[in-house]
Structure 1
Amino acid sequence: MVTTVRHLGPNWYASVMGTAIVATAGATLPVHVPGLRTVLVGVWALSFVLLVTLLCARALHWMHHGDQARAHLVDPAVAPFYGCLSMALLAVGGGGVLTVGRDWIGMQAAVALDFVLFTAGTVVGLAAAVAVPYLMAVRHRVAPEQATPVWLLPVVAPMVSAALGPLLVPHLPEGQAQETLLLACFAMFGLSLLATLIMLPMVFTRILAGGPLPLALTPTLFLVLGPLGQSTTAVGKFADVAPGVVPAPYSQGFAVFAVLYGVPVMGFALLWLALATAHVVRARRNGMGFAMTWWAFTFPVGTCVTGAEALARHTGLVVYDWLAVGLYVVLVAAWGTAAVHTTRGVLSGVLLAGPRPVPVVLRPATVRTTSGAVR
């Protein structure tokens, strides 16, 4: 077991995120499918088991391979994935347990578990949002031409907290406690949004001026959808819980903001989805094989599903209902593909035997894959 976890990096938490979002996004779809709720509870239970398993495996990794674990922190290709730890905790907790997990463990246990996982995920996310950019500046020495969407992972984590925190607001004492949590989530929304607005132009410039990303990194273009879809989800959640929590003028302002912000951002998300899909099709034609980066097709798309669902609630437009359903079909297909290939890779030992846990950019057009091959 100790040898097996030697190359287990923080990027593996993406599989937990991608599994949990299938349950969360499916729970509020505007269509009724017999038996779907039961399936979603099972998917959430799977994400919970995956989270516990990975937390234990990563603990073993730190205990027995501490030198390699510390090396991950100073590796510019691996360190940003520590944001995935935060988002995995939040996706299983704040997103999943109160939405569908409660059907399995009961509401009281769901609220308690959510408080634990939300608190832990938020603390880890805020720490990653500060620590990883700091390490990039003082230790990693990255160049602008090395920018990839992976850089967004640590700064997107607080946005996940912002989107999921409002679910806990009704379970707090009325008054100061509820308003404090809601406005804290709004603050994390701003923290993450502004950091994303700083980093996203570097990623876009890298693609336009430096050419397509290396094949193994091409799926990471879908990571850009994460802050777009999650922020749209967040403003919708703020508007849902604001009445009675914040004074009347501000509660109404949240409802207006949910539409005025969400509609244009979802529009840009669809533009980026088309652009990223075109890059992936090109990469696939050029021989792109499976890598753990394929999990980037799941959670970011799932956030767009929940974002479209939020817009459907606050605009009343059927077009957003159908958008949510269409994106959810894409999400399920992407999750199934990534899950099958990952399971196959684990059973064959391929994904746990490579010298590096994630693709590593060496030069603008060179990448070392998990098998050690250079493309």
Structure 2
Amino acid sequence: MGTGIVANAAAGLPWHPGPLRAFTLAIWVLAVLMLATIGTAFLLHWRRHPDNARGYARHPVMVQFYGALPMAILTVGAGTLLVGRDVIGLHAAVVVDLALWTTGTIIGLGTSLWVPFRMITRHDHAKAVALPAWLMPIVPPMVSASTGALLLPHVPAGQARLTLLIACYAMFGMSLLLGMITITMIYSRLVHGGLPALQAAPTVWITLGMIGQSVTAANLLGAGAGDVLPAPYAGGLRIFGLVFGMVMGGFGALMFALAIALTVHAGRRGLRFSLTWWSFTFPVGTCVTGASALGTTAGSTVVHGLAVVLYVVLLGAWATVAIITARGAWRGSLPGPA
């Protein structure tokens, strides 16, 4: 998902120079290969090492990252429609995206229920503290909402399209409300208890994933509602996306600045590279897609310009993390959070 969002974010930018299009296509292909490879490894791990896999699923922190699987599937599916159609054709891209969206949505709805259920009924509550990772299993329905908006024009008009729109808004509400409650808990924990473990400090960026993805969903769904609902309802949803995007964008700017400050603070205390650095990629990518969608709704060149600036930041973060990860994987020396 951290790689696929680089392609998806580029596809939504207001400007598409030729070299960027070629780069976007290459990143999409890489994301497809990564999903196939890591997905196969995940299934083989459960088949060959079930006890170890169940141990991960029972771990109070590691289980949170089960939400990454559906988000990866949904991200690659959306990339297939946005970018891959230039290679496989529009019809095939729609079929693939619909299959991946359905799969990712089912798994994502499962994680949003199963992980909190385990936290309520199985985990040691005496040691429980709110962590940014708690957002991971509840963000997937929001990703389904934003990527489902891309499918609206390709679904048969009438009840099928209306059902998809309603389902996307329902998942938007489901994820947003639970996500904002969780962000409040995380903020309270940070203020009262300080940063998480030093090497896990980059996970504070995960909060931006909910914010950016919700702005993306609200504006893409508002734009797509015009082909589904009559006036004034379609116009009302478009206005909702605009107002929501501006308000949530302000909150996102604050959290973005806070995440930078906390990361710099952790860097001064000896922050080293670990796989938690991938927290820099997907959340920033959702800020790009949110700014692009909001800029289009508002007709704002300033917001579109912000999307371009954020995309440059995303490219720098992704390139840094991807190169160090690839080098560590080749050498067999990838560190985890301490």
| TM bin (shorter chain) | over 0.9
Shift of 1:244: 2.8
The corresponding residue for 1:364 is none
The corresponding residue for 1:366 is none
| Match among 48, 52, 56 for residue 72 of structure 1 | 56
Q: 1: CA distance between counterparts of 2:332 and 2:163?
A: 47
The corresponding residue for 1:243 is 226
Shift of 1:265: 0.3
The corresponding residue for 1:58 is 42
Contact 1:23 1:100 (8 Å CA) reproduced: yes
| Counterparts in 2 of 1:100 and 1:143: CA distance versus 1, 3 Å | farther
Contact 1:41 1:101 (8 Å CA) reproduced: yes
| Match among 105, 113, 123 for residue 122 of structure 1 | 105
Greater mean alpha carbon deviation, residues 155-164 or residues 246-255: 246-255
| Counterparts in 2 of 1:205 and 1:40: CA distance versus 1, 3 Å | same
Pairing of 1:183-222 with structure 2 (within 5 A) = 183-222=166-205
Greater mean alpha carbon deviation, residues 227-236 or residues 139-148: 139-148
Shift of 1:31: 2.5
SS in 1 for 2:121: helix
| Counterparts in 2 of 1:247 and 1:311: CA distance versus 1, 3 Å | same
Shift of 1:32: 3.6
State the aligned residue count: 338
Confirm or deny that 1:292 pairs with 2:270: no
1:140-162 Cα deviation digits (max 9, x unpaired): 22458621110001111100000
Structure 1: which 5+ residue stretches go unaligned?
A: 1-16, 360-368, 370-375
Contact 1:76 1:142 (8 Å CA) reproduced: no
Confirm or deny that 1:309 pairs with 2:312: no
| Counterparts in 2 of 1:32 and 1:63: CA distance versus 1, 3 Å | closer
| Match among 158, 163, 175 for residue 158 of structure 2 | 175
1:326-357 Cα deviation digits (max 9, x unpaired): 11011000000110111011111123xx7xxx
Greater mean alpha carbon deviation, residues 296-305 or residues 104-113: 104-113
Pairing of 1:1-375 with structure 2 (within 5 A) = 17-93=1-77, 95-143=78-126, 146-351=129-334, 359=337, 369=338
| Counterparts in 2 of 1:230 and 1:143: CA distance versus 1, 3 Å | farther
1:248-271 Cα deviation digits (max 9, x unpaired): 221111111011111010111111
Greater mean alpha carbon deviation, residues 100-109 or residues 17-26: 100-109
| Counterparts in 2 of 1:183 and 1:322: CA distance versus 1, 3 Å | same
| Matching residue's letter, 1:211 | G
Contact 1:145 1:210 (8 Å CA) reproduced: no
Identity of matched residues, %: 49
Q: 2: CA distance between counterparts of 1:318 and 1:262?
A: 15
Shift of 1:33: 2.3
| Matching residue's letter, 1:312 | G
Q: 1: CA distance between counterparts of 2:59 and 2:74?
A: 25
Runs of 4+ residues over 4 Å off in structure 1: none
Q: 2: CA distance between counterparts of 1:232 and 1:316?
A: 15
Shift of 1:137: 1.0
TM-score by length of 2: 0.97
Contact 1:145 1:206 (8 Å CA) reproduced: no
**Larger relative helix fraction:** 2
Q: 1: CA distance between counterparts of 2:58 and 2:279?
A: 22
| Matching residue's letter, 1:38 | A
Q: 2: CA distance between counterparts of 1:261 and 1:161?
A: 18
SS in 2 for 1:154: coil
TM-score by length of 1: 0.88
Q: 2: CA distance between counterparts of 1:285 and 1:178?
A: 51
Q: 1: CA distance between counterparts of 2:126 and 2:145?
A: 30
| Matching residue's letter, 2:36 | V
| Counterparts in 2 of 1:179 and 1:42: CA distance versus 1, 3 Å | same
Q: 2: CA distance between counterparts of 1:274 and 1:144?
A: 29
| Counterparts in 2 of 1:251 and 1:143: CA distance versus 1, 3 Å | farther
Q: 1: CA distance between counterparts of 2:124 and 2:235?
A: 45
Shift of 1:315: 0.9
Shift of 1:285: 1.4
Contact 1:47 1:92 (8 Å CA) reproduced: yes
Shift of 1:131: 0.2
Contact 2:12 2:293 (8 Å CA) reproduced: no
